[in-house]
Amino acid sequence: MTTELGKDLAAIARGVRAATVAVHDARGRGSGSGVVWDARGLIVTNAHVVRGRGAAIEFHDGRRLRAALVARDEDLDLAALRVEGTGNEFAAARVRDSASLMPGEFVVAVGNPHGIPGAVATGLVHRCNARWVISDVKLAPGNSGGPLVDAGGRIVGINSMIARGLALSVPSDAVVAFLRAVRTGSRAA
């Protein structure tokens, strides 16, 4: 049983790593993680990870590309970046409706804590509301902006911070609404 669980977890992590990036603030004020949201190079991360007008993005396969800030929402702690240039195809994340999450569900965080690329942490959902997915996943500096995924490898949140020992992640539903506002032009950088 343990061997099968380990293989399943490794498969989830492998799939999510392909859509997880390292985000380095252009001003050199820090770094964190991000998620490739679409195959054309839209990256979602936390607003506190990207303070300037752009970032250097480091992909799972070793590519390093520049990205420009498209939109930021400090209240939601979200930022959207677009990889500069054309002709690139990227492995994009799959997304799940976070409103369907239940307490006790298994979740996985993938990111770059302390500069360790593709690190994995696991836990259980404690609660999910419109503002946060709250879990007992152990996050560390560098996990910010990275994906929180369900047992099927689908994004349910963007990891943001630790509060009172619990991980707080922006729900995927809030990310979808944020990106919808970006597309319609009602939200910009």
| 107-147 pLDDT tens trace | 999 999 998 999 999 999 999 999 999 999 999 999 999 99
The answer on 84 and 109 residing in a single domain is no
Total count of domains within the chain? 2
Residue entry with tokens 């992590």: 13
H helical segments located in the chain? 2-17, 172-184
Between 30 and 32, residue with greater pLDDT: 32
Residue 88 and residue 105 in one domain: no
Within 13 Å and on the Cβ side, how many CA atoms surround 22?
20
Q: Indicate whether 112 and 76 sit together in one domain.
A: no
Looking at the fold, whether 61 and 102 belong to one and the same domain comes out as no
Are 125 and 45 found together in one domain?
no
Instruction: Indicate which residue of 25, 48, 135, 173 is catalytic.
Output: 48
Alpha-carbon distance 138 to 109, whole Å?
8
- Confirm whether pTM is higher than 0.85: yes
Query: Catalytic one among 25, 31, 77, 150?
Result: 77
Does 104 map to a domain?
Answer: yes
Same domain, 73 and 54: yes
Please identify which of the residues 33, 98, 135, 144 carries the catalytic annotation: 144
Residue pointed to by tokens 């990889």: 83
CATH number at residue 10: 2.40.10.10
First to last CA, the chain: 48
189 or 81: which leads in pLDDT: 81
Annotated catalytic, 77?
A: yes
Active-site residue 144, yes or no? yes
11 and 61, same domain (yes or no):
yes
- Does residue 31 contact residue 23 with C-beta atoms inside 8 Å? yes
Residue 62 contacts residue 93 (beta carbons within 8 Å)? no
What is the average pLDDT across 43-52? 95
Is residue 100 part of the annotated active site? The answer reads: no
Q: Which of 92, 116, 145 is the last residue of a domain?
A: 92
In the DSSP assignment, the letter for residue 93 is: P
CA angle 137, 155, 99 (to 5 degrees): 90
Q: Same structural domain for residues 129 and 56?
A: no
Predicted confidence (pLDDT) per residue in 56-65, tens digit: 999 998 999 9
Phi-psi region of 30 (alpha: psi -120 to 50; beta: other; left: phi over 0): left
Is residue 105 in some structural domain? yes
pLDDT at residue 156 in the model? 98
**What is the residue-averaged pLDDT of the chain?**
92
Same domain, 62 and 17: yes
- Cα gap 122→137, rounded to integer Å: 5
Rounded to the nearest 5°, which phi and psi values hold at 97? -65, 115
DSSP three-state, residue 115: helix
Full residue range of the structural domain in which residue 154 is found: 98-175
